Amino acid sequence: MVDVSEKVSTLRIAVAEGYIDMDAATLSVIKAGTASKGDVLGIARIAAIQAAKRTDTLIPLCHQIPISGLEVVWDFVGETRLQCHVTVRTQNVTGVEMEALTGVGIGLLTVYDMCKAIDRGMTIGGIRLIHKEGGRSGTWDRS
């Protein structure tokens, strides 16, 4: 594990995104809130938050980081794509990129789990960091 004891505590923010592609009928069920397992986006939001908060137990050598803010945003893209953005904030000596990425991944996997009975062909992809700020390296944006 990297020793971060000499680093300065600063506001750290990370934003990650990813998507899940599915049949148009499946996305319609999600939009209408009529999935047999319940509120897909609400439950997937909670899963994303829980996952981000537990990243240190899921990924070896990640630091345990107190998260001060976490936002999950779902966007419908066309008739077949659901996109997820997770923004994580902390005041700490190390960043929260892994927490944001983990939140996106688990959020999207939860959507898959809740809808797999109607669409086993869903595809998850594009999970990536799109923004980070804070710390010695400052601000970074995906071009």
Amino acid at 53: K
Distances (CA, A) of 40 to 23, 27, 33, 88, 103: 15, 10, 7, 21, 15
In order, the DSSP letters of 68-132 are: SEEEEEEEEETTTEEEEEEEEEEEESS--HHHHHHHHHHHHHHHHHHHTTT-TT-EEEEEEEEEE
Active-site option among 23, 39, 113, 119: 113
Give the SS3 label for residue 4. coil
Cα 19 from Cα 37, distance rounded (Å): 20
Contact 96, 24 (CB under 8 A): no
3 is catalytic: no
Cα 109 from Cα 90, distance rounded (Å): 25
Question: What residues are annotated to the active site?
Answer: 113
